Amino acid sequence: MSSENQSIAVKTSGRGFVDLGGWLLTAITVVVAAIWFFPLYWAVVTSFKTDDEAVRAGVNLLPDALNFSGYLFVILNSSLPIWYLNSVITSVGVTVLAVFMAACTGYAISQLRFPGRMLLWYLILASFMVPVSALIVNHFIIIAGVKLLNTHLGIILPMLISPVTIIVYKQFFDGMPREYREAAVIDGANEFQLLFRIFLPMNWGVTTALAIITFIGAWNAFLWPFLAAQNERMMTVTVGITAVQDTFGVAYARVLAGAVLAGLPVALAYLLFQRRVTQAITLSAGIKG
């Protein structure tokens, strides 16, 4: 065999090895994705079954017929609309306030020079060492002391702690050319005008990504809303569906219908803003890493 033919054979063999590895990796990915997706699929399918069908022996991957009685029962016999409204109020409030405060803080640390600036920055970095769950008792004592339990403000305030958002903003503001700031200052712009007319408009993509991921996190929050909202009329939807489970007992179709309705806004937000959510997760992971 000539040297040219041997070279072609080696290249073909190498390409075959790469193709085999790619197919194997794809197969593993599909299997892992199926394992991850199956509980979600099972919850959605079960929510369209009757209660008797949901507890029937055997594995029924599809309902005998689409049944919306579970959804109707949850909507008509629980406070789900009020829980939805509470979740919207708290999630939007947390998103607006957290992003606004993070943008202002990130701008101040990045662009201003004031006593204690680096100490504040190091404290924000050090806050990663303290899990939020470790602060729950302190939050409860403080919120109870100022009599904000069972209020929207009492749910929102402790959820505004978002050091990752501040760090992301600071990094992007650090990368802004100094010439923009200097030119605006010469034109008489103050710090708020610099932030809201120059720095933020040049980082709307980052702001949008952080706002979406903050909204999703606030909507999915459970522990603090569970402690702060002791009145059923003030519960968020993630807390309320636990009350649905206690009320409905073993009515799995109804319970899962409530769970699907609770997660539907987040799922829609992710589908509509998938690229922005992925960007925000990448930014957060890059900071934490």
Share of the chain above pLDDT 70, in %: 86
Query: What value does the mean pLDDT take over residues 257-276?
Result: 79
pLDDT confidence of 90, banded at 50, 70, 90?
very high
Closest by CA to 227, choosing from 163, 145, 141, is: 141
Q: How far is CA 170 from the centre of its chain?
A: 21
Query: What value does the mean pLDDT take over residues 43-57?
Result: 80
Closest by CA to 85, choosing from 257, 234, 220, 255, is: 234
Count of alpha carbons within 13 angstroms of residue 274, beta-carbon side: 4
Between CA 232 and CA 21 the distance in angstroms is 54
Q: What is the pLDDT of residue 127?
A: 84
Higher pLDDT, 211 or 15: 211
pLDDT confidence of 281, banded at 50, 70, 90?
low
Among all chains, which residue has been given the structure tokens 């390409």? 15
Closest by CA to 109, choosing from 244, 239, 199, is: 199
Torsion angle defined by CA atoms of residues 118, 123, 128 and 132, in that order, rounded to the nearest 10 degrees: -150
Query: What value does the mean pLDDT take over residues 32-61?
Result: 81
Which pair of tokens denotes residue 213?
A: 């991921």
Please report, for residues 35, 135, 216, the alpha-carbon distance to residue 161 in angstroms, rounded to integers and kept in the order given: 34, 11, 15
Which pair of tokens denotes residue 269?
A: 């937000």
Q: How do the domains of the chain map onto residue ranges?
A: 3-47, 69-288
Those residues whose C-beta lies under 8 Å from the C-beta of residue 205, and which sit 6 or more positions away, are 276, 279
Residue 264, Ramachandran bin (φ over 0: left; ψ between -120 and 50: alpha; else beta):
alpha
At residue 12, does pLDDT exceed 60? Answer: no
Report the range of poorest mean pLDDT among 64-73, 145-154, 280-289: 280-289
CATH superfamily of 69-288: MetI-like (1.10.3720.10)
Between CA 219 and CA 33 the distance in angstroms is 24
Query: What value does the mean pLDDT take over residues 66-94?
Result: 87
In degrees and rounded to multiples of 5, residue 13 shows phi and psi of -65, -40
